Amino acid sequence: FCKVLCPIGALLAPLNFISLWKIRVPTQNCVSCGKCETACPSRVAPSSRIARDIPPNRDLDCIVCHECQTTCPHPKPREKTVTNP
């Protein structure tokens, strides 16, 4: 029922396109292993969207839970901050 006729979802879904929060995904490191797709509770298929350079949270079904980001085995390398002693 909620996937088709949910009035709250109909009001909130367009906000995914103008959201201030973005899911940052490692596009260069993505090997399309599919682990993010099995972890996604909304079945958005993040890796296929990443291959087309489309952020996963731009899908109307994305709930921005960041499960795709946390289960990715190939995270983007973080920059090290070096402090002077």
Residue 64 included in any domain = yes
pTM: predicted TM-score of the whole model, two decimal places: 0.56
Whether 32 is in a domain gets the answer yes
pLDDT in tens, 59-68: 777 777 888 8
Structure tokens at 11: 């009001």
Using 50 as the pLDDT threshold, list the residues of the chain that sit under it: 77-85
Distance, in Å, from the CA atom of 73 to the CA atom of 35, rounded to the nearest integer, reads 8
Contact 23, 76 (CB under 8 A): no
- Which residues span the domain enclosing 64? 26-75
Residue 59 lies in a domain: yes
| pLDDT at position 83 | 47
45-57 per-position pLDDT tens digit: 877 777 777 766 6
Please choose, from the candidates 9, 7, 25, 18, the residue with its C-alpha nearest in 3D space to the C-alpha of residue 63. 9
How many domains does one find in the chain?
1
In a domain, 63, yes or no: yes
In a domain, 47, yes or no: yes
Q: Are 28 and 65 in contact (CB under 8 A)?
A: no
The confidence score (pLDDT) of residue 77 equals 46
Judge whether 39 lies within some domain. Answer: yes
Residue 10 lies in a domain: no
Is residue 34 domain-resident? yes
Locus of tokens 């990443």: 50
